[in-house]
């Protein structure tokens, strides 16, 4: 039961649900996720940490950049089942559909350039 509760708590946030939906079938750099959800890097990092601790996502470092993907076989079965439910439940959600359209544009950008722009932003 503890594992299921960890996954459910990790998914109990609209931004984290958007992130999980965006990771379906792909790996994204932290800067791409920041660009998509429009939150501060520190906020997105915290969301990713929560998802990683619940073993919903996996992370890998490549130089200065961190890439995230949905957890593979080493993840919790509960996380995989919950992700499938998220995909089904949000397939027609207006925000997720807008995110998918926006993500197509973001994926055309060079992640390193996105990261540089975000670090220069004085927002």
CA distances (Å), 122 to each of 18, 114, 118, in order? 25, 14, 8
Question: How far separated are the first and last CA of the chain, in Å rounded?
Answer: 42
Residue 41: what pLDDT? 92
Mean pLDDT of 32-56: 95
Query: 2-117 sits in which CATH class?
Result: mainly alpha
- The answer to whether the beta carbons of residues 56 and 71 sit under 8 Å apart is yes
- pTM of this structure: 0.87
pLDDT in tens, 64-114: 889 999 997 666 777 788 888 888 988 889 999 999 999 999 999 887 788
pLDDT number for residue 74: 67
Alpha-carbon span 55 to 96, nearest angstrom: 22
Please answer whether residues 23 and 69 qualify as being in contact, where contact means their C-beta atoms are separated by less than 8 angstroms: yes
Alpha carbon distance 76, 48 (integer Å): 16
What's the pLDDT tens digit per position in 4-30? 888 889 999 999 999 999 999 999 999
């Amino acid at each position: 039961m503890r594992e299921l509760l960890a996954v459910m708590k990790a998914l109990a946030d609209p931004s984290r649900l958007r992130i999980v939906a965006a990771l379906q079938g792909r790996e994204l750099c932290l800067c791409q996720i920041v660009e998509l959800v429009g939150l501060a890097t520190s906020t997105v990092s915290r969301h990713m940490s929560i998802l990683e601790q619940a073993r919903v996502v996996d992370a890998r470092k490549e130089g200065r950049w961190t890439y995230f993907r949905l957890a593979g076989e080493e993840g919790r079965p509960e996380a995989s089942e919950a992700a499938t439910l998220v995909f089904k439940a949000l397939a027609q959600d207006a925000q997720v559909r807008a995110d998918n359209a926006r993500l197509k544009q973001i994926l055309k950008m060079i992640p390193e350039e996105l990261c540089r722009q975000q670090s220069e932003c004085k927002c």
